[in-house]
Structure 1
Amino acid sequence: MDAVPVALAAAGWLVGPGLALAYAVGLRGISALGMAPVFSVLLVSVTAVVGQKAGQTWSVWLVLGVTAVTVVLAVVASLLLRRVAPPRQSDPPRTLLVAAAALVPAMAVAWFVVVRGFGQPDELSQTFDAMFHYSAVSYILESGSASSLTINSLGNPSTAAGFYPAGWHGVTSLVVLTTGTDIATATNMVSWAIAGLIWPIGSSLLVRQVVGRNTAAMAITPVLSVAFTAFPWGLLSFGVLWPNALSLALVPSGLAAVLAATKTAKDDTIGFRRAITLAPLVLVACAFAHPNAVFSLAVLAVFPFGTAVLRYALKTWREGQAWRGVVAVLGTLAVLFGLWWFVAHAEAFRQVRQMYWPPFETPANAVGEALLNATNGRPALWALSVLTVAGLVVAWRLVNHRWLIAAAAASTFLYVLTAAINRPDTQKFTGYWYNDSFRLAAMLPITAVPLAVLAVLLIAGKVAGLFPAGSSRLALLRTPTALALLVVVVLLPLTSGFYAKTNAAALAGTYTKADPKAGTLVDDTEEAFLPKLAAAVPKDAVVANNPWDGSAVMLAEVQRKALYPHADIAWSAEQEYLSKNLDNAANDPRVCAAAKKVGVRYLLLGNKTFWPQDQRQKWYTGIAEPKAPGAFELVAQEGSVKLYRLDRCGSTTLP
């Protein structure tokens, strides 16, 4: 319960700023709520970049101020363009009420999953990438800069500045600044908000665009969306890929806007002109969250876009101007091929394209896993998969929804390439997701959610036919919303609580049940040492550490500056020398000169338990017990975890 205010702050930052902007640009109801997270990430990310360029310190008030100014400008622009793009008409109050109420069980299921998966609100992720992400949030709080143009260096002066998507880090740092909580708790509550709120409302907007004004669909979409394992829970445990999880949670809203822009939505709630105008903003927001989302959105958007082009071609053929349709189709194919060829050969993506993950199964098994929502060896979600497959049949019968089948097939195809093949020739298709099956498996639920909803609506319709017409007692039960909810209630025992325990187990794999063979990044002894570490080290001090023993995460948790905040970053000459010789500070004058230059005042020794087989551990052989007494003074200790102060460097060489 202590974490509830932090969870509310996470939800507030991910929805609040964007919701104000969504209403300012003329969106209403479900469309405003669905686009709110996209706009929130955009506002946070752009504010960070502009603020850093303008020399402004990162703060809650900076984001709120920029949001207020942006909203005012958007209101003025909307008023000036009122005739061109009037505000969208909202859905009926009953539909909006049901859509809002439906989020409650989804958030509750997600809360159960994180409680069972994390164990404690401040539980740390025992993963390699967690080192960087925890350190990045700590760097933002220490430096006052959350810019995506500077965060990749983590404040290390020898690392060249470059773009790294910092949308997730900016939001998490705002949660810390708002509540005063620790970084781990803020991270975990942002994870809950992504899975239990952002993903369900984005899925609701997408379903709204697919099925139109349908109260029954709004009632069941949120809770169905949180039942899938591959996303959101897969990306909140593997890696750990927090920025990817945030970015992919925005894709359903982006795809909903694509349906509006291509006029393939049913009873569009966004608007053609508004969708065209907002398209660049959606792409920028996704890129700031993580560029993977841009590529995921591009793949899925091809099919509604292709549907619109084919409709235009058929229209021109009927009107006796078939040549226009031919030009449109051939031109579209040429543009799509050109874009793919450019990206497939762009030097900027070369390193990402060449990431290699060995295939681990046959193509047939990979296809079966995709159909059973059991990707990457996870348990099959049988009841949910039956609905998804049934939804494919429904989508085929409803011609306007056939693009969903093609989009689902494309996601499956990309997953199969990474899980079962992964050769240099396939990497031109999958390289933009690091050729990683986990990232591509996470795309599958984006189309699976609306397909499952279509199946539930069909079943509800069939059940309605079983009730006799004209009975007043059964009138309420025969409503589509009541029957759809009845089908979902039946799913509750069939899915063991919407697979909450299955998803919690997937989450716990890198938290409370981290693999002991791979080691633990921060063990219980190190966690118990954190209060002593915070008390002993001044906030402006630099602490030498071996990131492989969990010390980088420990220092990030207490918001102290680590000499090595991550295990794999380009270090300066002084940092490289210290990494191999700091333990000889009593005898080596060069160590003293290097330590003075980089400002090292402390040495932290943790328990070396993480990835013991990794050869990169040899880079830090000098971060060890002092070879000779005199230079270091033991300040604090908890078991084998020790903190030294470097107060007499070169002491044995003094006269």
Structure 2
Amino acid sequence: MSWLNTIPYLVGLAAFLFLPGVVILRASGVRGLGVAAFALPVTASVMGVFAVLLPFVGAAWNPVSFLICAAITAVLALLTRFVIALINTDISRPHSFETVDSPVVDRLRRFRWGVDAPVSLIYLAAVALPAFAIFYRYAHGFGNVERISQTFDNIYHLNAIRRIMDTGSGSSLTLGNLTAESAGFYPAAWHDMVAQTALLLHVSIPAAVNMTNIVIACLVWPLSLLFLITRITGPRLLPIVLTAALAPAFPAFPYLMVEFGVLYPNHLAIAILPAVIGAVLQILGMTQADTPTFWPGLVALVGSLPGMLLAHPSTLMALIAFVMPVMVTKLWWMYIDRRRSPADRRRFWAFLGLFVAYAVIGLICWVVLRPAASSSTWPPFQSPAQATGEVLAGTPMGLPGGTLMFILTTTGVLFLVLTRRQRWVVGMFLMGAWLYVTSTSYPFGDVRTFFTGIWYNDSNRLAALLPVVSAPVVVLGGEFLIRWVTKRVMQSETYARLAATKAPWLNQRLIVSAVLAMLLVGAGALQVQSGAMTAEQAKLNGRYYSGKESLLLSPDERALLDRLPEHVAEGDVVVGSPWTGASLVYAISDRQTLRPHIYGAVSPDAQYALEHWEEAPYNTAACSAVKNTRAFYALDFGPLEVHHGWHPIPGLSYLEGAAGVELVDQQGAAKLYKMTGCK
């Protein structure tokens, strides 16, 4: 399938993932930009939560049951809204995230290019432009919609999706390591979403993965970032345009999460994170809105937080960290205002209680919701000064260049600090910088593990969080520079002489056109990032490259897996090394394998069959294990493993020419064998 042919699929998929959230949010009385920004996050919440609940009532997880669950959620949201309206009549009206009577929005609504351009069209353009840029990079990086990432974690992700499709259960409580013997918690919201995609569109799992990730990166990320920025700046034109230019220009996100790992669940969770932070700002009254918007902020937060949590819990920890400077600032402001009136004093004490609860619960989550310290083995690799430079330049993990981003970031920090405007934005930025610098440059120890052990001390995961908190600083820095340059131009003698001539071409439209032209040039420069984006694109291309030397699955191996169902009946099981592409027989060929994941326990019969499969013709115990597990087939994909390691499977070491073992299919060096000597 070509990328051009995927467009109808992508449009349908976007509608399937966005419309349920739109209906639920509108039923809750929300309108404006927040409906678009939170539509897919709310859908993710419905998917993640109901996937956990449905097994308890014996219902299968599929597109039909999902749509029913979404409809139930919409009805409950509508009923909740009306019940609350009995107490507070103000809730009965729809509430917009935008200030419809604001002079700023009115100027946007009547921003003239010869015709009236509604604010919705400006937002649409601000999403469409980065969506196109991100789509181009993803499509170029994937190479083909059917290709897979040739990485370690992808074995689990692809097989987990197949397990959800096979069992009809997408519960995060039981997905675990994909076997009955190792069932346990694993955040499954992303896997649930891709499983629904594959079932709905009737496409392969690799294609469903790539298309779902494209929708997340091209639509969710720009909308989420746009929502956060407009909470901080208000709906001003320059920040909106700058956000459109910046959304595809950070190499650390979204590209890094589909290149490294691969960390697909983090890809979804981090894409949602900016909007969730924006909802918190809305609830706390820390936005530039002119009218109260507590209710839509609360709805958005409650509706999207479960989806983000069930996509990947570590992003909740990032939310706790990034919101802390906002909470401290709010507390300080209320402390200063407490003497104005008894009501202000009561509000201060109430918020102080909320702040203490937030800090205590946040600390408990920070300590408890983390992997074992033994898993946090990623080492530091640079000095604090180098790490700090990477943060400022927007080029983490050793990427080159970043001069333009460095200028914008430092300008934004200085502007916010020196003008004393929204310093909590700098606080969020410093929090993200601290986590990244700690993971990349601090030596192993309790301090490093306490702060970054939640992310396995893995610098890549923390690098991907940086754009969330650096984007507001960069946007504000870029806006200040543009306004400063424009002011200097308009104060120049040349402009004064031209203005005196009353030249017909010297008007606001020309000035705005020139500014936007400069922004487009700047967007192009940001895309290049002096080599940073080029380097990240090359890494992405390499991860999805499919050739004879591919670490996980070569073209010959993929071809054999594609036609494997012709030889292996449904219900029969295929044995193979989980360290090679043979493990993907479950995801790609839809045939069970004894070990669908590198880790995790298996039954005694399965373990014995793995260790003695080729002995079945003359070993009674091995033959019994093969028959009990129905493991009548084996794949030999050679010794090349996904991590260049050496993990031989004893029962599959000498298949060629073994008595009672028949070669039934071969593609290049990839071979499929059948056990004929055990009946």
Same fold (TM over 0.5): yes
**2:60 is matched with which residue: 24, 45, 57?**
57
**Structure 1 length as normaliser, TM-score?**
0.91
Alignment of 1:475-490 (within 5 A): 475-477=507-509, 482=513, 485-490=516-521
Q: Partners in 1 of 2:48 and 2:366 — Cα distance?
A: 27
Q: Partners in 2 of 1:594 and 1:544 — Cα distance?
A: 12
- The letter of the residue matching 1:637 is Q
Q: Partners in 1 of 2:208 and 2:480 — Cα distance?
A: 41
Q: Partners in 2 of 1:585 and 1:462 — Cα distance?
A: 79
The aligned counterpart of 1:646 is: 675
1:210-240 C-alpha deviation (Å, 9 max, x unpaired): 1112233323313311110111111111110
- Residue 481 of structure 2 aligns to a residue in which SS? helix
The aligned counterpart of 1:117 is: 141
Moved over 6 A (4+): 320-330
**1:540 is matched with which residue: 543, 563, 571?**
571
Q: Partners in 2 of 1:325 and 1:80 — Cα distance?
A: 25
Post-superposition offset of 1:298: 0.9
Q: 1:249 to 1:398 in 2, by over 3 A?
A: farther
Q: Does 1:550 align with 2:581?
A: yes
Post-superposition offset of 1:437: 0.7
Post-superposition offset of 1:9: 3.8
Post-superposition offset of 1:634: 2.1
Q: Does 1:88 align with 2:88?
A: no
Post-superposition offset of 1:270: 8.1
- Retained in 2: the 8 A contact 1:391–1:454? yes
Alignment of 1:188-587 (within 5 A): 188-267=210-289, 271-276=293-298, 278-317=300-339, 335=357, 338-339=360-361, 341-343=363-365, 345-346=367-368, 349=370, 351=372, 354-421=375-442, 422-465=444-487, 466-467=489-490, 473-477=505-509, 482=513, 485-495=516-526, 501-512=534-545, 520-587=551-618
Post-superposition offset of 1:297: 0.9
Q: Partners in 2 of 1:279 and 1:525 — Cα distance?
A: 47
- The letter of the residue matching 2:158 is Y
Aligned length: 642
1:281-325 C-alpha deviation (Å, 9 max, x unpaired): 433221111101111111111121211111100101455999979
- Residue 633 of structure 2 aligns to a residue in which SS? strand
**2:74 is matched with which residue: 71, 75, 92?**
71
Post-superposition offset of 1:206: 0.4
The aligned counterpart of 1:133 is: 157
- Residue 483 of structure 2 aligns to a residue in which SS? helix
- Residue 537 of structure 1 aligns to a residue in which SS? coil
CA RMSD of aligned residues (A): 2.8
Q: 1:398 to 1:353 in 2, by over 3 A?
A: farther
Percent sequence identity over aligned pairs: 28
Q: Partners in 2 of 1:248 and 1:510 — Cα distance?
A: 21
1:383-436 C-alpha deviation (Å, 9 max, x unpaired): 233222222223224534211101111111111111111423321111111211
- The letter of the residue matching 1:588 is N
Moved more, 193-202 or 271-280: 271-280
- Residue 375 of structure 1 aligns to a residue in which SS? coil
Post-superposition offset of 1:157: 1.9
Q: Which structure 2 segments of 5+ residues have no match?
A: 110-117
- Retained in 2: the 8 A contact 1:414–1:430? yes
Q: 1:452 to 1:200 in 2, by over 3 A?
A: same
1:582-624 C-alpha deviation (Å, 9 max, x unpaired): 1211111111111222222221221332246535x14x22123
Q: Which structure 1 segments of 5+ residues have no match?
A: 651-655
- The letter of the residue matching 2:167 is S
Q: 1:500 to 1:376 in 2, by over 3 A?
A: closer
- Retained in 2: the 8 A contact 1:317–1:325? no
**2:168 is matched with which residue: 144, 163, 174?**
144
The aligned counterpart of 1:27 is: 30
- Retained in 2: the 8 A contact 1:134–1:553? yes
- The letter of the residue matching 1:596 is K
Moved more, 490-499 or 167-176: 490-499
- Retained in 1: the 8 A contact 2:415–2:477? yes
The aligned counterpart of 1:38 is: 41
Q: Partners in 1 of 2:292 and 2:339 — Cα distance?
A: 29
Q: Does 1:11 align with 2:34?
A: no
Post-superposition offset of 1:333: 7.0
- Retained in 2: the 8 A contact 1:128–1:239? yes
Moved more, 275-284 or 118-127: 275-284
Post-superposition offset of 1:471: 6.1
- Retained in 1: the 8 A contact 2:162–2:590? yes
